[in-house]
C-alpha cells in the first residue's frame, strides 16, 4: 500500500509542485489549504506523514502542530515546509513537536530524502507499538487458561486505588479437592480441567463489566462492577454448569467436579486487598460448610 501524505499549503503553486513530485514518488497525496481543513483531514485520513506550511490564513502551522502533539497517542511525523527561514522559526517548529523543518524554496532532493527518512521512522514506531501491545497482552495473560493473571491484578489494584474503577462484588472460586484429580489422572489432565473451568467462567461473565483472573493454581477471581444481584445469579450458574461437566480421562473412567464460591458484596470504599480477603473468607466458609456451595 502506498504511504499516505497530507500536504498542507495555501499557495496553489507550491501545492502543484508538491503534488506532482510526491505522486511521482508513488505516495498518495491528500491536500489541505488551511490549518482547520488539515486538522479535519488528518482525522479522516490517518496519514503516515504530514507536510505542513507555517503561514496560513486561519490557524498557523505551528498551532496545528502543537494541537496534534497534545493528543495522547499522536505519532505521525510532521515536516514543516516554510518560507520562514530564521533559526528561531526552525527552533519553534521543532519545539512544537515537528519531526523536521525544510525551508522554502525547497530542494526536491532534500525533500525526497527527508520524507523517506520520516516514513522509515514512522514505520519503526508503528511496529514497536504493535510489539508493545502484543507483549503487554502476553504479560497480563495466564498461559494455560488465557484469563488475566496476578500481574494484571496489580494493575487493577492501582486503578482501584486511584478511584478509576469500582467493584460491587468480589467472587473467589476454588475447585474442590483438585489435588486428587492431579494425583489420580496426572497433572496434564488437571490442566485440562482448569481450562474447562476457565471457559465456563468466561462464558458466564461479561468482559465489558467483569474482570476474570486466574488467582492461583485452582483459584479464580471475578470482580463485578455491576449489581450484586446479577453476581449472585452468575455465581450460581457457574457452580451448576461446572458440576454438570463430565470428564473422561480414560475409557470407562468418568468423573465430575464441584467448586466452592465465596461472594463478597462491597458496601463501602476499601482497598482491594481487603475486598479480596473478605471474598477469600467467604470461600473458606463455603469449603468448611461442605464444599460445592456459595457463601457470602
Beta strands 28-32 and 253-255 are unpaired
Among the candidate windows 7-15, 37-45, 168-176, 239-247, which touches ligand GH3 by CB under 6 A? 168-176
Kindly state whether residue 261 participates in binding ligand GH3, applying the rule CB under 6 A. Answer: no
Kindly state whether residue 194 participates in binding ligand GH3, applying the rule CB under 6 A. Answer: yes
By beta carbon distance, the residue nearest ligand GH3 is 217
Smallest gap from Cβ 188 to ligand GH3, in A, equals: 7
258: nearest Cα among 226, 285, 218 = 218
Among the candidate windows 187-195, 235-243, 244-252, 270-278, which touches ligand GH3 by CB under 6 A? 187-195
Q: How does 247-269 read in b/e, with b if 16+ C-beta sit within 10 Å?
A: eebeeeeeeebebbbbbbbbeee
Smallest gap from Cβ 262 to ligand GH3, in A, equals: 12
Among 70, 131, 191, 229, which residue interacts with ligand GH3 (rule: CB under 6 A)? Answer: 191
State which residue, 22 or 193, has the beta carbon closest to ligand GH3. 193
Among the candidate windows 19-27, 102-110, 169-177, 223-231, which touches ligand GH3 by CB under 6 A? 169-177
Among 66, 104, 285, 287, which residue interacts with ligand GH3 (rule: CB under 6 A)? Answer: 287
Kindly state whether residue 178 participates in binding ligand GH3, applying the rule CB under 6 A. Answer: yes
State which residue, 61 or 190, has the beta carbon closest to ligand GH3. 190
- Peptide bond before residue 105 is cis, with ω within 30 degrees of 0: yes
Kindly state whether residue 175 participates in binding ligand GH3, applying the rule CB under 6 A. Answer: yes
Smallest gap from Cβ 214 to ligand GH3, in A, equals: 9
Q: Which three cell numbers stand for residue 81?
A: 515546509
Do residues 67 and 90 make contact, with C-beta atoms less than 8 angstroms apart? no
Kindly state whether residue 48 participates in binding ligand GH3, applying the rule CB under 6 A. Answer: no
Q: How many residues make contact with ligand GH3 (CB under 6 A)?
A: 16
Across the strands, what pairs with 263? 171
Binders in 134-153 for ligand GH3, by CB under 6 A = 144
Positions annotated as catalytic residues are 218
Among the candidate windows 26-34, 35-43, 50-58, 184-192, which touches ligand GH3 by CB under 6 A? 184-192
Among 101, 122, 218, 283, which residue interacts with ligand GH3 (rule: CB under 6 A)? Answer: 218
Smallest gap from Cβ 138 to ligand GH3, in A, equals: 17
Residues of this chain that interact with ligand GH3 (CB under 6 A) are 144, 174-179, 182, 187, 190-191, 194, 217-218, 287, 291
Amino acid at each position: 500500500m502506498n504511504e499516505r501524505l497530507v500536504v498542507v499549503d495555501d499557495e496553489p503553486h507550491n501545492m502543484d509542485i508538491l503534488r506532482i513530485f510526491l505522486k511521482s514518488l508513488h505516495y498518495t497525496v491528500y491536500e489541505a489549504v488551511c490549518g482547520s481543513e488539515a486538522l479535519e483531514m488528518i482525522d479522516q485520513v490517518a496519514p503516515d506523514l504530514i507536510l505542513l506550511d507555517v503561514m496560513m490564513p486561519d490557524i498557523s502551522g505551528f498551532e496545528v502542530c502543537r494541537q496534534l502533539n497534545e493528543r495522547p497517542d499522536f505519532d505521525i511525523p510532521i515536516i514543516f515546509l516554510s518560507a520562514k527561514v530564521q533559526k528561531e522559526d526552525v527552533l519553534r517548529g521543532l519545539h512544537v513537536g515537528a519531526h523536521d523543518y525544510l525551508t522554502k524554496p525547497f530542494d526536491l532532493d532534500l525533500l525526497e530524502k527527508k520524507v523517506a527518512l520520516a516514513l522509515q521512522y514512522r514505520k519503526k514506531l508503528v511496529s514497536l507499538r504493535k510489539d508493545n501491545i502484543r507483549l503487554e497482552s502476553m504479560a497480563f495473560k495466564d498461559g494455560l487458561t488465557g484469563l488475566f493473571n496476578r500481574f494484571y491484578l496489580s494493575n487493577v489494584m492501582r486503578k482501584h486505588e486511584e478511584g478509576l474503577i469500582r467493584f460491587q462484588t468480589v467472587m473467589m472460586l476454588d475447585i474442590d479437592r483438585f489435588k486428587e484429580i492431579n494425583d489420580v489422572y496426572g497433572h496434564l489432565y488437571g490442566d485440562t480441567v482448569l481450562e474447562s473451568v476457565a471457559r465456563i467462567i468466561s462464558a458466564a461473565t461479561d468482559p465489558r463489566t467483569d474482570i476474570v483472573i486466574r488467582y492461583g493454581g485452582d483459584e479464580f477471581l471475578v470482580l463485578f462492577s455491576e449489581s450484586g444481584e446479577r453476581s449472585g445469579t452468575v455465581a450460581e450458574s457457574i457452580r451448576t454448569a461446572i458440576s454438570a461437566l463430565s470428564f473422561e480421562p480414560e475409557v470407562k473412567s468418568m468423573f465430575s467436579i464441584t467448586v466452592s464460591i465465596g461472594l463478597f458484596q462491597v458496601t463501602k470504599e476499601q482497598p482491594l486487598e481487603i475486598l479480596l480477603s473478605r471474598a477469600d473468607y467467604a470461600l473458606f466458609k463455603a469449603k468448611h460448610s461442605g464444599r460445592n456451595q456459595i457463601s457470602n
